[in-house]
């Protein structure tokens, strides 16, 4: 009998998730009911947002239940289907779990994808997936950079940040990135075409404030904020009047008590806006966004990287990379 290996949440993390918070367990491959499909997951997308779902806190999605497999977006192949529109062999993508086999119900987030039009089916988890769509809608709908504006991006070497920066450059903005370590900063300039890079490592809030000021001598008009913490406070010190901050993530605050943002008064003094956003608000435009990103890739205007670790047994160390910053590109776990 085929077994279903699953990556279970078995304890609520306190701070940074520990290996002991998870358990790998084998279960029977589930049977499907009416309107359901059985999916053999090939790849799982490992995203910072997953950390939020592990806490027992109400949010835009319910917490992952203890004993259940960890929620993730996956790409896979339909093995069996009781749902109209899905046939065995179809490639699909959806909000499933880190496990070899998932059951999805018609009317959920699962949709068919065309594996033939992309260089790799993993692209649906990177440039055409949630991270690519986050960059696309965050930049083109939330922030709308204009030529000549100074556009600061935190977590800039990450999957979302590196694409957001390139989209900013395509709009004509001066793009400055914050990243951890000289190698990532070099990649921002050399690989992604940023105008300037700031290494946050080893800097306290004063040093970071000074470094941002030096890299943004005309102040900051737009921010794509992925990180929060002292970087956001340092950023707020340099915003221009009517600055717009797209709040995409606060990864520095997900694993402990939140730092506490102290410089919100700058929003008043600069008549500035922070707008939190989720790509789910653009749900009816995912196809449009994915096609726009795919077109930019095909035209050689957008570079993206995927960091693929192999095997469900490596789910924990692969997930941890997101918080260590040791991944280079969109973090994906190969399950087949």
Contact positions toward a copy of itself, by CB under 8 A? 52, 59-60, 228, 247-250, 253, 257-278, 281
Cβ atoms of residues 70 and 111 within 8 Å? no
What the block records as the tokens of 247 is 């709040």
Helix (H, G, I), strand (E, B), or coil: what is residue 150?
A: strand
Minimal distance, residue 261 CB to a copy of itself, in Å: 5
What are the structure tokens assigned to 97, written together?
């779990």
User: Residue 58 or residue 89: which is nearer to a copy of itself going by CB?
Assistant: 58
CA 60 to chain centre: 16
Closer residue to a copy of itself, CB minimum distance, 3 or 271: 271
Distance separating alpha carbons of residues 271 and 296, to the nearest angstrom: 34
Query: Strand pairing of 101-105 and 36-45?
Result: antiparallel
Closest approach of a copy of itself to the CB of residue 80, in Å:
35
* CA distance linking residue 331 with residue 297, whole number of Å: 19
CB of 155 to a copy of itself, least distance (A): 14
For a copy of itself, the closer of residues 91 and 259 by Cβ is 259
Q: For 140, which DSSP code?
A: I
Helix/strand/coil for 31:
coil
Nearer to a copy of itself, 119 or 217 (CB): 217
Report the distance separating Cα 263 and Cα 98, nearest Å.
38
Least distance to a copy of itself from the beta carbon of 205, Å? 12
Please report how close the Cβ of residue 68 comes to a copy of itself at its closest, in angstroms.
Answer: 21
| Closer CB to a copy of itself, 89 or 265, in the complex | 265
């Amino acid at each position: 009998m085929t077994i279903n290996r699953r990556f279970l949440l078995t304890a609520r993390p306190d701070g940074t998730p520990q290996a002991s918070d998870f358990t790998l367990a084998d279960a029977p491959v589930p049977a499907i009911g009416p309107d359901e499909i059985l999916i053999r997951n090939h790849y799982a997308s490992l995203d910072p947002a997953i950390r939020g779902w592990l806490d027992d806190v109400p949010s835009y999605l319910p917490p992952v239940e203890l004993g259940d497999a960890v929620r993730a977006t996956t790409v896979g192949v339909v093995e069996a289907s009781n749902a109209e529109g899905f046939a065995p062999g179809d490639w699909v993508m959806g909000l499933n779990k880190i496990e070899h086999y998932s059951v999805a119900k018609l009317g959920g987030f699962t949709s068919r994808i065309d594996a033939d039009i992309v260089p790799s089916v993993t692209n649906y988890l990177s440039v055409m997936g949630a991270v690519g769509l986050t960059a696309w809608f965050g930049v083109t709908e939330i922030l709308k950079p204009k030529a000549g504006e100074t556009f600061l991006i935190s977590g800039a070497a990450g999957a979302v940040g590196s694409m957001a920066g390139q989209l900013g450059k395509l709009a004509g903005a001066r793009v400055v990135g914050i990243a951890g370590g000289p190698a990532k900063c070099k990649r921002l300039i050399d690989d992604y075409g940023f105008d300037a890079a700031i290494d946050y490592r080893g800097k306290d809030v004063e040093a970071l404030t000074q470094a941002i000021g030096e890299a943004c001598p005309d102040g900051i008009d737009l921010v794509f904020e992925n990180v929060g913490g002292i970087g956001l406070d340092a950023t707020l010190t340099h915003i221009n009047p009517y600055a717009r901050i797209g709040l995409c993530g606060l990864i520095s605050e997900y694993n402990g008590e939140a730092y506490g943002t102290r410089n919100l008064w700058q929003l008043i003094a600069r008549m500035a806006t922070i707008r939190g956003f989720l790509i789910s608000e653009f749900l009816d435009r995912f196809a449009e966004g994915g096609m726009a990103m795919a077109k930019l890739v095909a035209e050689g205007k957008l570079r993206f990287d995927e960091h693929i670790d192999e095997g469900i047994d490596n789910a924990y160390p692969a997930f941890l990379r997101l918080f260590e910053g040791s991944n280079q590109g969109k973090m994906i776990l190969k399950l087949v």
